[in-house]
Structures are given as structure tokens and as C-alpha cells.
Amino acid sequence: MAKIEDFSVGPLDDGQLKKARENIRRERSAGSDKPLSVAIMGQTGVGKTSLLNSLFGTDLAVGHVRPVTRRPEPVSVAGTSRHMLTFWDMPGIGESDAADETHLAMYLERLIHCDVAIWACHADSPSTAYDEQCLRRLLDTVAIETRRLIMSKLTFVLTKADVLAPPPWIFDMRGDRGTFGPGGALLRRLEEKAAYYESVFLEPRADLLLASTYGTGEFTVSDERLGFDRRGVHYRGYFSQQVCDTYSERYPAHREVFSRLRDNHRVLPCSALFRFNLTRLMTGVVNRLGPSAVFRFRRLLQEVEELAEVPVSTARTYGNLMIWDGERGTKAFDLAEIPL
């Protein structure tokens, strides 16, 4: 099984940059130089808004008790030549039947028009029935071609991965900052969860799936399912870990391309609180937006490593334990006060 570390992150080399520039020129001359958009959807309270706040440093309202996001909220970032990438924070589903009616209609419209859609599920819940039912409802209302289009844009993430403990999370401290990561046992559990969600949402819909990524000029592998054209490399079907491993063994020179194809169908566990996997989420999303996006938003990609960093002073306030000595009426222990 793939390690979560396998997600393809990396700067563009000269050949890729040249290719990206050519793609942009071609897009401009074809008049398809449109702004890009990403929508984030899923049940109320899964942490959609919090994820965007952590990714972009925004201060959108978050709900601790009741549903909060009422209408699609845009968060925009400018790429080169002021080309815009907009993330749409969608209202959550699951509040009531009446609200779902409106929100699912909004989802459908957004799914058709956006370039990538993030469907967020709660990492701590083994229940997939409600999300599955809503997704089916959406797909059932449209023709087969639109179903394919929608499924080719969807990427599933598991939110609030930090709530999965024990086994413990490890904070890797470097000076006054650090990064959270799961220890071995927790990493395996996250991988099992991700694989389970893939088996529920993606595997049964293999006939609707298309994995795509930008290619380097050297990619020339093609077979019944795998192909390439000027816009990139495509795989018709579910690009499972097994499929990825088979192609990677057969064509080791193209491992990175296969890994990016795999990112299309990998379910990514994230935590807005621990800033866990935000780098991979952002890289995966931009990779899926196509070769010109990778070029246009390269500054964003160059900054993504910093997305994972949490100040030590903030990290110390998480999972805090305070013991009150009721007999003496004093504080007996406070984890936040233990010197490092």
C-alpha cells in the first residue's frame, strides 16, 4: 500500500516550465484563458471553512455549534499576470431536508462549472451513507457525460484527522515552529481509512472516472486506458494504488506522472488544526488544474511547504491536560506549563 509520503510534490524543471508556457500561449490563442475555480463541499461541520482559513490565512466564520456558511463564499488568489484562482467555500449539507434541496442544487451548478471539487468527509466517522446518498442524488439528475465530468473533478479529503488519536501525533519541533505528523501506527490507520473511502466512493464508479495530469514532453506510453495528448496524460478508469504500482514498475522513468495520476483518486486525510497535509492538498489541487495552472500558481506551490508549519506556542495549547486538585483547591498539573 502507498505511504502518504508518496504524494507528488516538487518544483517544475526547465522542460516542464517550457511546456507550461507553450500551453498558456495555446490557451490564450484558443480563448480559453479563463479564471480557475475550486469548490469545497460536504456535510455541515466537517471543517470546510476551517480548511480554507488554514490554507489562505482568511478569517471566514467557523461554526462550533450550528451550521454557519450560508452561501458560497469566494477566496481568491492571484497567479502570474493576475490570473485568478478562486476557492468557493460551500454551505454544508445535512442541516435539514429543505436546506439540502437548495444546497445540493448549488453543488450541482458549482460541480459543473468548477475545475476541481473537494468533497470533505469527517475522518473520524466510519459512516459514508449520507455522503454517498447525496453524491448519488447529484449524479442521478444528470446525463452520463455530465456524471463523468463531475467525477473527473472530484477529490475526496478526510478532515479533522487530528481527532484520530491515540496512537499519538508527533510534533517535530524546529526552533519556535514545527510540523505535526502521525506516528507509524496512526499513519497506517489513516491509510486504511483513506483506502476504505476510495473503495466506497471511487471503486464502484470506475466507469465514470478519468484521471488526468500534465505530462512532460517525453511521455509516450499508451494502451487501452492510458493516453496522452497536448494537454496531458489521461487514464480512463480508477487509478488505484495497484494500477499505479504496475505502471510504475513497467515504466520507471514516468513514476512521477503515474504518482500525479494517482493523486486524482487518492483520498487525503487532512487537519486544518494541525495543518497536516495542507501542502499535499494544495499541490494536488493545483496539479489537477492543468499544466498552465502549475505554471501560473507556481508561487503558491513554492510557498506550500510553509503551510505545514505551526508555532510551538500554538501547538502547546492543543490536547492540553489540566488536573485540578479538588481537595486542595489548586491546580495540580498543567501540560501547557511543563517546560520543553
Please tell me the count of residues contacting Mg ion according to CB under 5 A: 3
CA distance 311 to 178: 6
Look-up: residue for cell 508561487? 299
Give whichever of 144 and 165 is closer to ligand GTP, judged by the CB atom.
165
Give whichever of 49 and 216 is closer to Mg ion, judged by the CB atom.
49
Residue 69 touching Mg ion (CB under 5 A): yes
Segment contacting Mg ion (CB under 5 A): 67-75, 163-171, 184-192, 195-203? Answer: 67-75
Residue 54 touching Mg ion (CB under 5 A): no
Give whichever of 96 and 246 is closer to ligand GTP, judged by the CB atom.
96
Beta bridge partners of 121: 158
Partner in contact with 260, chosen from Mg ion, ligand GTP, none, beta carbon below 5 to 8 Å by kind: none
Strands 154-159 and 268-269: parallel
Give the binding site for ligand GTP (CB under 6 A). Answer: 44-50, 62-64, 67-69, 91-92, 159-160, 162-163, 271-273
Segment contacting Mg ion (CB under 5 A): 64-72, 134-142, 163-171, 303-311? Answer: 64-72
Q: Report, in Å, the least distance between residue 258 CB and Mg ion.
A: 35
Q: Report, in Å, the least distance between residue 314 CB and ligand GTP.
A: 13
Segment contacting Mg ion (CB under 5 A): 3-11, 42-50, 189-197, 239-247? Answer: 42-50
- One of 23, 37, 49, 213 touching Mg ion (CB under 5 A): 49
Partner in contact with 271, chosen from ligand GTP, Mg ion, none, beta carbon below 5 to 8 Å by kind: ligand GTP
Q: Report, in Å, the least distance between residue 189 CB and ligand GTP.
A: 16
Say which residues have a Cβ less than 8 Å from residue 70's Cβ, sequence separation at least 6. 91
Q: Report, in Å, the least distance between residue 50 CB and Mg ion.
A: 8
Say which residues have a Cβ less than 8 Å from residue 92's Cβ, sequence separation at least 6. 42, 43, 44, 45, 46, 48, 67, 69, 103
Q: Report, in Å, the least distance between residue 238 CB and ligand GTP.
A: 27
Which one, of 118, 151, 100, lies nearest residue 40 by Cα? Answer: 118
Q: Which residue is nearest to ligand GTP (CB)?
A: 92
Q: Report, in Å, the least distance between residue 259 CB and ligand GTP.
A: 26
Q: Report, in Å, the least distance between residue 89 CB and Mg ion.
A: 6
The grid coordinates listed for 75 are 477566496
Name all contacts of 133-137 with Cβ < 8 Å and 24+ positions apart: 134/93, 134/100, 134/104, 135/201, 137/104
- 3-state DSSP call for residue 140? helix
Q: How many CB atoms lie within 10 A of CB 121?
A: 25
Beta bridge partners of 325: 330
The grid coordinates listed for 87 are 476557492
Q: Report, in Å, the least distance between residue 299 CB and Mg ion.
A: 27
Give whichever of 79 and 91 is closer to ligand GTP, judged by the CB atom.
91
Give whichever of 182 and 290 is closer to ligand GTP, judged by the CB atom.
182
CA distance 335 to 333: 7
**With the CA atoms of 116, 117, 123 and 127 taken in that order, what torsion angle do they form, in degrees rounded to the nearest 10?**
-140
CA distance 195 to 177: 31
Give whichever of 96 and 222 is closer to Mg ion, judged by the CB atom.
96
Give the interface with Mg ion as residue ranges (CB under 5 A): 48-49, 69
